[in-house]
Amino acid sequence: MRVIIYGVGAVGGVVGGALVAAGHEVIGIARGGQLAALRAGPLTVRHPGGVITADLPCVAGPDEIAFRPDDLILLTMKTQDTAAALHALRATGVYDQPIFCLQNGIANERLALRLFPNVHGVTVMMPAGFLDPGEVLCHGLPMLGMFDIGRYPGGSDGADEALATLFDSGQMRGFVHDDVMASKRGKLLLNLGNILEAALGRGVDAGPLRSRARTEAEAVLAAAGWDWQDVGMDDPRRTSLMQIGDIAGVARFGGSTTQSLMRGTGAVETDYLNGEITLLGRLHGVPTPVNTYLTALSAELAATGAEAGSRTLDDLVAGLAHWERDRQVQRP
C-alpha cells in the first residue's frame, strides 16, 4: 500500500514526513519552491519532541505517477485548488482508488464525489505551519495530530481503517468515524475565526465578531438539518493526545489563512469557510452578514497583498457597519 500526498504544504508535509519516517512508501505532489527543495534534499519536520528528517520523493503533478489500484490518495491542498487537482487526477486514469480530503471546510468531498466514487472525509486536527521551502512545523504534543476519518457521505470501510493504522504508526492518531461530516462541520465552526486572526494578528481579541460569526453558522447548519461534533480544545481526546507545544527557537505564527497572507499567495480559503456559511444561509433563508463581510474582507486582503495583522478591531467593526448599511442588511 502506497500513500500519495497531493499538496506538500503544512499538513501534507507533516503527514508525509511522519509516514516516511515510520517506514511507509509515500510520494508527494508539490509545486514551486517546495518542489525544488524536496527534489534537492530531505524534508525537515520540526516539532516539540525534536526533528524528523525524511527523504520524501516528490513530483510536479499526478501525470508523473503510475497509480496503483491500492494507492491511498490524500488531498492536502487548499479548497480553492481542489477542482483543478481532481481534474488532473482524473486525466491520469485514477477512478476507484480511495480519495481522502484532509482539508478544511465541507465542500471538498462533494467536489470529489462528482468525479470519483470512493471519497472519504478527514477532519484534520494538527497545528502545522509552512513558510520556508523544505521545512514544515508542527506544534502538536505528544501526537503530531489527530484525524477523524470516514466515507462520504457517510459510513466507513477498510480504507478508513487502513489510513487510521498508518497514522497510528507515525506519531499521529486516526479515528474511524461513521459520520465524519459531523466532525468536519465542527471543525468548520472553529475555522470561521481564521480570517479574524489573519486580519488582526495572532492572539488579538476579535471582540463580538467571532461569536457573531459562529452564531450565524450554527443557525444555518440547523436550518440545513445538520448537526456537528465539538472537535475543539474541549474534545476530551486532546487532553491526552494533542496539546499545543513549543518548538525550540520557533514562534507560532498562526493558522492556515495567516500563513497564506504571510507567504503572499494571493489566495485564501475563506470562500469555503465563512463563504460556506454565506452559501448555506442563502440556500436556507438565514441572514449571514458577518460571515459574508469576512469573506469579502479576506478576498481584499489577499488581492492587495496585505500583511497578516494589518487591521485593527476598530477597522473591522467600522467596515462591517459600513458594509451592512450600504447593503441595508438585516441582522439575524
pLDDT at 99 over 80: yes
Contact 15/73 with Cβ under 8 angstroms?
A: no
Pairing of strands 128-129, 135-138: antiparallel
pLDDT category, 328, cuts 50, 70, 90?
low
> What's the pLDDT score for residue 102?
98
Look at residue 331 and tell me whether its pLDDT is greater than 60.
no
Average pLDDT over residues 179-198: 97
- The pLDDT of residue 264 is 87
Q: Is the peptide bond before 142 cis (omega within 30 degrees of 0)?
A: yes
Once rounded to an integer, what is the mean pLDDT over residues 61-73? 98
Average of per-residue pLDDT across 47-66: 97
**What does the pLDDT read at residue 254?**
84
- What is the residue extent of each domain of the chain? 2-327
Q: How far, rounded to the nearest angstrom, does the alpha carbon of residue 77 sit from its chain's CA centroid?
A: 8
Packed helices 209-223 and 289-304: angle between N→C axes, nearest 10 degrees:
120
- For 54-64, what is the mean pLDDT? 98
Q: Read off the C-alpha cell for 243.
A: 496539546
Q: Is 184 helix (H, G, I), strand (E, B) or coil?
A: helix
**Residues 32-55: pLDDT tens digits?**
999 999 999 999 999 999 999 999
pLDDT of residue 44: 97
For residue 67, what are the contacts with CB-CB under 8 A and spacing of at least 6? 4, 92, 93, 94, 97
Q: Which three cell numbers stand for residue 256?
A: 492556515
Position 329 scores a pLDDT of 59
Residue-wise pLDDT tens digits, 224-259: 999 999 998 889 999 999 999 999 888 887 888 999
Q: Which helix (H) or strand (E) holds 244?
A: strand 242-244
For all residues of the chain together, what is the average pLDDT?
95
What class does CATH assign to 2-327?
alpha beta
Sheet holding 25-29, edge to edge: 58-59, 25-29, 2-6, 72-75, 99-101, 119-125, 145-151, 172-176
Between CA 312 and CA 327 the distance in angstroms is 23
Q: Which helix (H) or strand (E) holds 230?
A: none
pTM, rounded to two decimals: 0.96
Of residues 289, 280, 279, the one with CA closest to residue 316: 289
- pLDDT at position 326, please? 84
